Amino acid sequence: MRRTVLKSLAAMIAGAFLSLPAYAQTKPVEVEFYYPVAVGGPITKIIDTMVADFEKENAGIKIKPVYAGSYQDSIAKALTALKGGNPPQLAVLLSTDMFTLIDEDAIVPIDGLAKDEAGKQWLGGFYDAFMQNSRSGGHVWGVPFQRSTIVMYYNKTMFKEAGLDPEHPPATWQELVEFSKKLTKKDAAGNVTQWGLEIPSGGSFAYWLFQALTTPNDAILMNEAGNQVMLDKPAVVEAAQFWRDLAAKHGVMPTGTIDWGTTPKDFLEKKAAIIWTTTGNLTNIRSNASFPFGVAMMPKQKRGGSPTGGGNFYVFKNATPAQQEAALKFARWATTPERAADWSIATGYVAVTPAAWQTEKMKKYAQEVPAAAVARDQLDVSVAEFSTHENQRVTKVLNDALQAALTGAKTPQQALTDAQREADRILRSYK
């Protein structure tokens, strides 16, 4: 009895080994794909449809999309999985997570995978403003996918009421202060009922909005190697002082910090005439605003400009060459002009290649929603989003400094000098 069992067991194992090679040949390449959801809308459904379409055209590849939460959750999950030895093969993560992923030895350079002529051409086809956050040390590490930038939303009805031209949004810092003063309303008791301007500074995005002030003031906050920050330069301090003054001196913005999440709501509730926030909010504001609104570029000081933001595709190192190839194929497929246009129209993200804007549907969309084109036009003067080694930590140092300056706990000069010292300490081992 026992012998029979053992024999059949052995036969089964042998059978399994013998049939394995044949099985492996027909088995499709599986790619696990983590993605975050950071804007409103049925993102998971759009992704699922995209994957299904891709699989139809590429029979040998099976993509397993995994919704991984917010951007923060997604990187946390990907790195935890990596440390557990089971990372995804492809993921959309913040473009600013690039240095973190390189330091963790988690990803491979994209230019090493897309070596042929067509691959090079593909990587050269993106807006340079987006590629600035994808390059380091002479390599391309990420493929721009769901990218955004900061724009100014303004309430045209309020502009009219205040005697301003609704087709002329503030184009310079001076105009911004001037217009905002006219747009700020108070009741009889002297309490503000309508703010002229809101630039959110709460949560973890203060540094990003700050870049929309430093870039026009002609200051760059970090180097391309990501191991040096320039936070205490006079132009940077000036920008922080201006931000503080909007509330403290000009009285056109609430004092203290302004929450990132409630700012679009303040705008929709008609409590703020002008807000600065991501292009990712366009679809939300477009469907919920009860008044005509305009979208404009960041006001100029010495120049124009805004940082870019959003997520890139990353291909992971632990994957087999076949998986890496499949992952790359999917990333390439998702950023073809037609697909990029679909994605942009469905989500409100900025289409990542000039070619996508040349497609028929994108031309039509830009005509229907001129606001979408504002973000594209701003790309010419946009700069890389703040990103360094130990990114989250350095970013927190900057956020804390900005919040200290905005709440009046420290002077902008003091806050940024402290931040510079702290950032230097964190980055010392990456020089």
- When the beta carbons of 255 and 320 are compared against another protein, the nearer one is 255
Tell me the closest approach of the beta carbon of residue 36 to another protein, in angstroms: 15
DSSP β-ladder status, 272-278 and 192-198: parallel
Tell me the closest approach of the beta carbon of residue 301 to another protein, in angstroms: 25
Tell me the closest approach of the beta carbon of residue 80 to another protein, in angstroms: 8
Count of Cβ atoms closer than 10 Å to residue 363 Cβ: 13
**Which one of 40, 119, 202, 251 is in contact with another protein (CB under 8 A)?**
202
The verdict on 414 binding another protein (CB under 8 A) reads no
Tell me the closest approach of the beta carbon of residue 383 to another protein, in angstroms: 24
* Residues near 62 by beta carbon (within 8 Å), at least 6 away in sequence: 28, 29, 30, 31, 55
The verdict on 284 binding another protein (CB under 8 A) reads no
**Which one of 47, 239, 356, 404 is in contact with another protein (CB under 8 A)?**
404
Q: Taking CB under 8 A as the criterion, which residues in 120-179 touch another protein?
A: none
**Which one of 400, 413, 414, 424 is in contact with another protein (CB under 8 A)?**
400
Tell me the closest approach of the beta carbon of residue 255 to another protein, in angstroms: 6
**Which one of 48, 103, 128, 368 is in contact with another protein (CB under 8 A)?**
103
Tell me the closest approach of the beta carbon of residue 116 to another protein, in angstroms: 29
The verdict on 105 binding another protein (CB under 8 A) reads yes
**Which one of 78, 209, 213, 258 is in contact with another protein (CB under 8 A)?**
258
Q: Measured between alpha carbons, how far apart are the two ends of the chain, in Å?
A: 70
**Which one of 46, 53, 66, 104 is in contact with another protein (CB under 8 A)?**
104
Tell me the closest approach of the beta carbon of residue 85 to another protein, in angstroms: 14
Task: Point out which span in 100-108, 170-178, 300-308, 347-355 binds another protein (CB under 8 A).
Answer: 100-108
How far is Cα 355 from Cα 372, in angstroms, rounded to an integer? Answer: 16
- When the beta carbons of 328 and 406 are compared against another protein, the nearer one is 406
Task: Point out which span in 121-129, 152-160, 188-196, 212-220 binds another protein (CB under 8 A).
Answer: 188-196
**Which one of 40, 119, 251, 254 is in contact with another protein (CB under 8 A)?**
254
Q: Taking CB under 8 A as the criterion, which residues in 378-397 touch another protein?
A: 390, 392-393, 396
- Binding mask 203-232 vs another protein (x if CB under 8 A, - otherwise)? xx----------------------------
SS (H, E, C) the chain: CHHHHHHHHHHHHHHHHHHHHHHHHHCCEEEEEEECCCCCCCHHHHHHHHHHHHHHHCCCEEEEEEECCCHHHHHHHHHHHHHCCCCCCEEEEEHHHHHHHHHCCCECCHHHHCCCHHHHHHHHCCCHHHHCCCEECCEECCEEEEEEEEEEEEEHHHHHHCCCCCCCCCCEHHHHHHHHHHHCEECCCCCEEEEEEECCCCCCCHHHHHHHHHCCCCCCCECCCCCCECCCCHHHHHHHHHHHHHHHCCCCCCCCCCCCCCHHHHHHCCCEEEEEEEHHHHHHHHHHCCCCEEEECCCECCCCCCEEEEEEEEEECCCCHHHHHHHHHHHHHHCCHHHHHHHHHHHCCECCCHHHHCCHHHHHHHHHCHHHHHHHHHHHHCECCCCCCCHHHHHHHHHHHHHHHHCCCCCHHHHHHHHHHHHHHHHHHHC
Q: Taking CB under 8 A as the criterion, which residues in 60-79 touch another protein?
A: 72, 76, 79
- When the beta carbons of 94 and 212 are compared against another protein, the nearer one is 94
The verdict on 95 binding another protein (CB under 8 A) reads no
Would the CA dihedral through 360, 56, 146, 271 be positive or negative?
positive
Tell me the closest approach of the beta carbon of residue 187 to another protein, in angstroms: 8
Which stretches of the chain bind another protein, using CB under 8 A? 72, 76, 79, 100, 103-106, 189-191, 193, 195, 201-204, 254-259, 261-262, 265-266, 269, 271, 390, 392-393, 396, 399-401, 403-404, 406-407, 409
